[in-house]
Structure 1
Amino acid sequence: MNRDVPHIVFEPGEKENFGFDLVSIDFIQQQKGFNHNPEHPHQLRFYNLIFFTEGEGRHFIDFNWYPIEQNTLIYLTKDQINAFDFSTDFKGYCMLFTEDYFASSFSHLPKDFVFRLFNPQLFSPILQIPKNSDFNSYFNLLLSEFNNRLIFNQKSILESLFVILVSKAEYYKQNQTFHIKDSSNVQLFQKFTTLLENNFHKTRSAIFYASKLDITYKHLNEVSKNLVNKTAKKVIDDYVILQAKRNLINSTIKSTQLAYKLGFEDATNFTKYFKKHTGLTPKSLKKRYQ
């Protein structure tokens, strides 16, 4: 039996496929008996903003459970592992969109702002929208316009409303988390994470990434600590472990193969590294989530 975690691709309903879709959680719950069970871990190939409008419960994101309640907004970026838990009653909607749609919709905004939007390293994926805010009004307007098939220039209207909605959320995020005032640090951290994504299988040395950025190891550490409260080495290790976890539950790959894929000399070193950072062996982690 294939136990791989499903890769969920963007498949809009009856709407013209311009890269955006809006789906109720009730509809997603009904899919349990079809292609995949939404209560089982699955990996997105697109972006997803989940807005919970009623009830409470929890949601699984990259191997952690997060509490949700009325007016909770969840940010899910492409390739993240997530799952619903329908053991409690809640309602809401998923705003699904492709990477191309994301890039075009926010192309006129500052790059550091766009980078912050869906970056799980910088912020928690959970945002609680204040009950007395006008976020709900804008969301209901977005939902109404989305369901109006006869609307003129619907794509532009939806895009404008969606950008407003996300901008509103970012305003509330500033009040609930620390506000990054130095955009140059954000840009530097973005370059660091991009380098990490492209080179993590080659090296886990923070000194290597600092040299590639033409800064000192101390400077990279300071930026990392200021932004995410982690050393640069911790950022690297957390990223490698996350990729290892995703690979372990996403395929039938063996530890030896994964060790080489992630840049380890042999499976023994990889197993020691993995257990040091997770308290589990790769095999036990795989069994837990399958």
Structure 2
Amino acid sequence: MVKRFFSSTQISPIIEQQRFQESIADLYIYDIADIRNLASINQSMRTNFFCMFLLNKGELHVNLNLKPFKITSNKLCVIIPSTVAETTFISNDCELLGLVFTPEFLTKTGVIFNHQETLEMFVPNAEKVLTIQSDEAEILRLLLQRLKQLNASNSTHLFSREIIYHTFLTLFYEVSNVYRKNKTLQKPKITRKEHLVIQFIQALQLHFRNERSVRFYADILFITRKHLTKIVKEITGKTPCEIIDEAVIFEAKLLLSNPALNINEVAQNLQFTDQSVFGKYFKKHFGTSPTAFRNTEKKSVF
């Protein structure tokens, strides 16, 4: 069976594979070799963990909440819980170093959110990918390498656990400083139309499981359905209906990839009246039935 890192919806399968290789179970430091062994291209997941990685060389393409990112050398990517993530391309010369950690681990470190900058990278609308300076990249790289050494099960350091927590905190505050500098350097001007589209996307992320009506989102934004359709089409090139359907189908595919859920439970999760209605909707927008999609997914695992 192919190990699937990015198709998991939980951190536990990731950590479980490394449980006897890591000193602290809620923290996993990885490099490109781990990604090549565990990742599946074009497999999606909804995270329930934090992830940071720094690309040293090559290219990595990912979709984060349906938005594509091309990550190259000296770019830092930060992924927060509830992000829908999908890896679409890894170049042959790709080199990276990163870490995955649970919210519980973050609490154990004793991190103090007493500055706005320490919170900025963990809010939903924060920048997901940042370009950093070479000296900053080198500092982060050294800290990640040190964490990987200390968290290995064969580490003989008497105080490895304590140093892991302190090294992680150093890394955390260094990354927070990168966000602060990036915010100072980049002050994009957002038009009223762009702001409305952002509000629409944010509302959609909260309500798409229950609401698929354009009028619902127009009412939230206190504008007409016609005006919302015009603005969204102008800014994104797609209609609100198309974007809503994309969000629902994307979530449906994630749920159908979970063998613990039957198709009726998937339909209920997405608030369809019954399995038949869900099946017709899925086939209309994806081109195949939920059952056929699930069978294809099963074959791709082996």
**What secondary structure does 1:94 align onto?**
strand
Structure 2 residues not aligned, in runs of 5+: 148-159
CA change 1:201–1:90 in 2 (3 A) is closer
CA change 1:159–1:74 in 2 (3 A) is closer
**Aligned counterpart for 2:214 among listed residues 192, 198, 206:** 206
Partner residue in 1 for 2:263: 255
1:47 aligns to 2:50 (yes or no): yes
Q: Deviations over 1:177-235 (max 9, x none)?
A: xx55248954x555544543443333310101221333322443355346544332222
The root-mean-square deviation of aligned C-alpha atoms, in Å, is 4.7
1:117 aligns to 2:126 (yes or no): yes
**Aligned counterpart for 2:92 among listed residues 88, 106, 110:** 88
Q: Write out aligned runs for 1:1-290 (5 A).
A: 6-9=8-11, 13-14=22-23, 22-29=29-36, 32=37, 37-39=38-40, 41=43, 43=45, 44-56=47-59, 70-71=73-74, 76-79=79-82, 80-82=84-86, 88-96=92-100, 108=116, 114-117=123-126, 129=131, 134=133, 136-146=134-144, 147=146, 154=167, 156-166=169-179, 179=188, 181-182=190-191, 185-186=194-195, 188-189=196-197, 191-225=199-233, 228-290=236-298
Question: What letter corresponds to residue 135 of structure 2 in structure 1?
Answer: S
Q: Is this contact kept in 2: 1:57–1:89, CA < 8 A?
A: no
Question: What letter corresponds to residue 11 of structure 2 in structure 1?
Answer: V
Q: 1:248: how far off? A: 0.6
CA change 1:47–1:280 in 2 (3 A) is farther
TM-score when normalising by structure 1? 0.65
Q: Deviations over 1:57-110 (max 9, x none)?
A: 766878999876545655645342445877934321224355696997696159
Question: What letter corresponds to residue 208 of structure 1 in structure 2?
Answer: F
CA change 1:221–1:112 in 2 (3 A) is farther
Q: Is this contact kept in 2: 1:57–1:88, CA < 8 A?
A: no
Q: 1:241: how far off? A: 0.9
Question: What letter corresponds to residue 263 of structure 2 in structure 1?
Answer: S
Q: Is this contact kept in 2: 1:8–1:42, CA < 8 A?
A: no
Structure 1 residues not aligned, in runs of 5+: 119-124
Residue identity (%): 22
Q: 1:249: how far off? A: 0.7
CA change 1:95–1:6 in 2 (3 A) is closer
Q: Is this contact kept in 2: 1:241–1:274, CA < 8 A?
A: yes
Partner residue in 2 for 1:122: none
Q: Deviations over 1:120-174 (max 9, x none)?
A: xxxxx7x695xxx62x3212212324527759965553233102334566789x7
Moved more, 20-29 or 44-53: 20-29
Q: Deviations over 1:32-62 (max 9, x none)?
A: 4xxxx43374633223343332345766878
TM-score when normalising by structure 2? 0.63
CA distance in 1, matches of 2:115, 2:194: 20
**What secondary structure does 2:271 align onto?**
coil
CA change 1:263–1:49 in 2 (3 A) is same
CA distance in 1, matches of 2:112, 2:165: 20
Moved more, 69-78 or 235-244: 69-78
